[in-house]
Amino acid sequence: MLSKTQKSFLFAFTMCVVCSLILSAAAVGLKDKQERNVRIDKQKNILKAVGLIEPAKKYSQSDVEALYKRSIQSLYVDAQGNLVKNETSKPVYVSLKNGKISSYALPFKAYGLWSWVKGYIALANDGNTVVGVTVYEHAETPGLGGEVEKAWFQDQFVGKKITDSNGKFVSVGVVKGKVSDSVPVSKRSNYVDGISGATITSKGVEKYLKIDLQAYEIFSKRLRG
Amino acid sequence: MSIKKTQAYKVFMKPMVEANPVSVAILGICSALAITTQLIPSIVMVLAMTFVLTMSNVTISLLRHVIPKNIRIIVELVVISTLVILADQTLKAFMFDVSKQLSVFVGLIITNCIIMGRAEAFALANGPWLSMWDGLGNGLGYGYILIVVSFFRELLGAGSLFGIKVIPQALYDAGYVDMGIMLLAPGVFIVIGLLVWAQNIYTKRTQ
């Protein structure tokens, strides 16, 4: 006969095995579908960053796939700043209009408070003006750092410049509080309002956005001429 | 025998009004705060929650004679977390946008005290048939409050229902402004407070 403690251990062990089997089966069975969702969500975010998604319209998954295929070219930037088809560490998603670049999106990855905030920032063909910013993955606190995924925060970036009035690369900064309170008028095109209650997330976005934009400067500089 | 006399019916109806988990026991307020800004996520949340609550009640009730007493709480938690992860994975596969909107709150169903409370107070002492009705009743009793709250929050806070604008543009042109406070936490407390008030008046009258 088993003692009481042994019975408890046996029960706990059986319980763990049964539950983990159920969960593994579900994870394996649903994996393909989840990965497809994530892939399409990324495509949708790229389209949104370059301004091809109308906010009021609904898009089905196949709409997104078709639109992406039609209007986005997935290329890479090489060490000399050329656009190439061979894979390098710098992917760039180019939106073409009549065979010419109209805008291009590049991925950014910023460390917030809890984890990486991943998204895209799109620049116009002048290599300077921001067309859009989107976030497709983050683990910030909803209502505080989680605001990075909200339209009010992202929409502020539209029309901002990544260079200062002398043409020097400065990236787009995120200030604490409001831009109108702390930044002189001449520099306002390089700053957006921060998220209140989420200084670490805001500062993280500022820091890593600069690093990531800097990495693509070799390409953006050419467009600025 | 009419359906109203069965014990299952009584068990199912009790949490609707007289023992409602939100408006009487004031449980599950955290999730009510977080996800009721719009109707669609609230409805999905209610479905996920009812699924987990019903299934956990049935499972725990079936196992009630074999669960060793000294580890029963952790066993209940394992059952609940397994069900929540299943619900979360299913949402990620089939309702990706809603699952993104609900973010961590699906996972946080695990910590919703209604589920653990029902497992301890009901499922451990009753058979699976009645436990199922108790789970459904509590899930839906929690659910309709959430839906009422999100109806008012979305209507007054954003001027829309199910994501579709219902307040005509003419009204905005005439100077009507959405109530921003309804989208913030105080809005929920006001709506739930009013519901609890209505509930108390009703209970006093029927007693």
- Give CA–CA dist A164/B83, Å, rounded: 54
Specify the pLDDT at position A208: 94
Of B28, B75, B156, B3, give the one whose Cα is nearest residue A16.
B75
Residue A202 scores a pLDDT above 90: yes
Mean per-residue pLDDT for A39-47?
A: 91
Specify the pLDDT at position A25: 94
Confidence of residue A97 (pLDDT cuts 50, 70, 90): confident
Å from A162 to nearest chain B CA? 30
Query: Which of B36, B40, B72, B85 to mutate to probe the A interface, most A CBs <10 Å?
Result: B85
Specify the pLDDT at position B44: 86
The pair of structure tokens assigned to A117 is: 């905030």
The least confident of A17-31, A169-183, B158-172, B181-195 is: B158-172
- Between strands A173-174 and A191-192, the pairing is parallel
Residue A137 falls within a domain, yes or no?
yes
Average pLDDT, chain A: 88
- Give CA–CA dist A112/B117, Å, rounded: 36
Mean per-residue pLDDT for A167-193?
A: 87
- Give CA–CA dist A116/A109, Å, rounded: 6
Residue-range definition of the domain harbouring residue A97:
45-224
Mark yes or no for CB contact A26/B94 under 8 Å: no
Residue A120 falls within a domain, yes or no?
yes
Q: Do the beta carbons of residue B158 and residue B177 sit within 8 Å? A: no
Residues of B in contact with A146 (CB under 8 A): 103
Query: Which of B100, B106, B160, B188 to mutate to probe the A interface, most A CBs <10 Å?
Result: B100
Mean per-residue pLDDT for A61-83?
A: 85
**Residues of chain B with confidence (pLDDT) below 70:** 1-3
The ranges assigned to domains in chain B are: 11-206
Residue A102 falls within a domain, yes or no?
yes
Residue A156 falls within a domain, yes or no?
yes
Mean per-residue pLDDT for A116-145?
A: 88
Map tokens 């990855």 to a residue: A109
Specify the pLDDT at position B1: 55
Residue A108 falls within a domain, yes or no?
yes
Mean per-residue pLDDT for A26-48?
A: 91
Residue A124 falls within a domain, yes or no?
yes
Q: How many domains does chain A have?
A: 1
- Give CA–CA dist B21/A32, Å, rounded: 38
